[in-house]
Structure 1
Amino acid sequence: MARKKKKQQSNNQGGGESSWMMTFSDLSTLLLTFFVLLISMSSLNEQALRTAFHNFDRMSGILFFRNREAVTLPENVAFKDIIKSLESVYVIDVRDIDEQTPEMISDREFNLLVSTGNLVWYKKQEIYRSFSFIFNDELLFESGSASLNPKVFPLLNKLAAFLKESRYMVFIDGHTDNIPPSPTSAYRSNEELSIARAMAVAAYFIEQAGVPPSKIAVTGYGDLLPIADNSTPKGRALNRRVELIFRPVEE
């Protein structure tokens, strides 16, 4: 009788151990699934994110992305009328910005261009059928502010018309030099100022020119991405800029 009872106890203990193993196995499977999902989510590239969130109504449809690829202009793109329309302010040849330096412009001419707000750069890089314009901040804004200069409205209207009629979207990047905003400024940092300026251009495109918000993305880099030496007035003038990067929308 004692042996039978002992055997029954042993059987019950074995069943308990088996149930525990099944529970542990289920938990392990769930954990494995969770980590697989984490890895797959972390592997999404920027284009996948942009596609996934393209129609989200956040900040009037404007999404923020950083670290985008470079952009370029092919020979046969039909926006050469835009380039032609910029002749009144377009003073740099259509070539890679890296081939253009302030030294190619005389001191007197450069200072005149900056003071009159007529400095616009054209940038060629590497993504098919994409292009960008870099605008000196004096052209778009009053000094130290994020209020658009009315004289630039006709230019922005032409760019907006292109956006509305084409299958392009625009990434608006704000940049500053490395001089912090003054204590009396409405902006606490250069990044704040750069975002405010990029947002001002985006707001004009959407509210005044009727560009769909889904065609616009905004980023403010502050002084993180200089294109010239901040130790000179010329370099700082080049670094205070807004870049409009036009890229075709993928079908």
Structure 2
Amino acid sequence: MSDEFDFDEGGDEGGGSEWMATFADMMTLLLTFFVLLLSFASMDITNFRMALGSVKDALGVEVEHPGDVTAIATSVVELSKRESTSNLQVFEEMMVSRIREMVREKGLEGTIEAVPDARGVIVRITGEILFETGEAELRPESKPTLDAVAEICRMLEYPISVEGHTDDRPIHTSRYASNWELSTARATAAMRYLVETGGIDIARMSVAGYAHMRPIASNETPEGRARNRRVEFVFIRPAEPAK
């Protein structure tokens, strides 16, 4: 009888090695699981709990502090948001450089200005290039500039807010009661050109007029007022999806 239960001397050692190999495999799987979680750009706490529950059931482990799951999942979501925004900002900086290069190639330096912005990217054109003083009809000479803007719209497929701005000198004509009407009419004229001539999808467009309320230079000098009279094409960074 005793012979049936005899083990060789290496039996315990072999069993220990097998246990350690299994444990190592389990830890590798867990590490891979959490690395994958960090790579996802979209994730919510409910999905995190479900995924963690699947691992718990498969490996036979228990989570002793459920509150920690919320903290971990929230951290992963916030990290993903920050990484996503950071990646978009890097992309936008690259696009600004590409736009500036294109402007140089077309000989439009001093006509089109591209700058990064908290909302995304702004492409700025001085008002005198597009319009006569106090008017909102596009000048014939504005066509090459707006054609270049249409090309930028095809390069950077963000939603676009076309925004008109004026200096602080009041205006009152038979057509425009104030700078509010003038700035809005100018933004609308630029938007219509991009849609009707440039072939840009109108669903991407919105229009706003801000009169003199958002200056980028002092209104105390002629040069500053000239800079403030402008049309801006704001390429708006897509919002993060709601969690």
- TM-score, scaled to structure 2: 0.54
Gapped regions of structure 2 (runs ≥ 5): 1-87
Match of 1:89 in 2: 108
1:38-57 → structure 2 map (5 Å cutoff)? none
Question: Aligned partners of 1:73, 1:186: CA distance in 2, in Å?
Answer: 43
Asked if structure 2 preserves the Cα contact closer than 8 Å seen for 1:164 and 1:212, the reply is no
Question: Aligned partners of 1:188, 1:72: CA distance in 2, in Å?
Answer: 40
Whose helix proportion is higher, 1 or 2? Answer: 2
Asked if structure 2 preserves the Cα contact closer than 8 Å seen for 1:168 and 1:246, the reply is yes
Q: Does 1:226 align with 2:218?
A: no
Question: Aligned partners of 1:208, 1:174: CA distance in 2, in Å?
Answer: 19
Q: Residue 115 of structure 2: which of 123, 131, 138 is its match?
A: 123
Structure 2 CA distance for partners of 1:159 and 1:194, relative to 1, 3 Å: same
CA RMSD of aligned residues (A): 2.6
Instruction: Give secondary structure in 2 for the equivalent of 1:246.
Output: strand
Structure 2 CA distance for partners of 1:179 and 1:72, relative to 1, 3 Å: farther
Match of 2:236 in 1: 247
Question: Aligned partners of 2:169, 2:130: CA distance in 1, in Å?
Answer: 19
Please say which structure displays the higher CA radius of gyration: 2
- Alignment-mate amino acid for residue 115 of structure 2: K
Structure 1 residue runs of 4+, over 4 Å off? 71-76, 78-81, 248-251
Q: Residue 187 of structure 1: which of 176, 186, 193 is its match?
A: 176
1:199-210 → structure 2 map (5 Å cutoff)? 199-210=188-199
Q: Does 1:138 align with 2:155?
A: no
Structure 2 CA distance for partners of 1:149 and 1:73, relative to 1, 3 Å: farther
Match of 1:169 in 2: 159
- Alignment-mate amino acid for residue 203 of structure 1: R
Asked if structure 2 preserves the Cα contact closer than 8 Å seen for 1:72 and 1:131, the reply is no
Instruction: Give secondary structure in 1 for the equivalent of 2:159.
Output: strand
Match of 1:196 in 2: 185
Asked if structure 2 preserves the Cα contact closer than 8 Å seen for 1:82 and 1:158, the reply is no
What percentage of residue pairs aligned between the two structures are identical?
34
Note the alpha carbon deviations across 1:15-54, whole angstroms, 9 max, x for none. xxxxxxxxxxxxxxxxxxxxxxxxxxxxxxxxxxxxxxxx
TM-superposed CA distance for 1:73, in Å, is: 6.7
Structure 2 CA distance for partners of 1:165 and 1:227, relative to 1, 3 Å: closer
Structure 2 CA distance for partners of 1:186 and 1:84, relative to 1, 3 Å: same
Instruction: Give secondary structure in 1 for the equivalent of 2:94.
Output: coil
Q: How many residues align?
A: 151
- Alignment-mate amino acid for residue 174 of structure 1: G
Match of 1:62 in 2: none
Gapped regions of structure 1 (runs ≥ 5): 1-70, 92-117
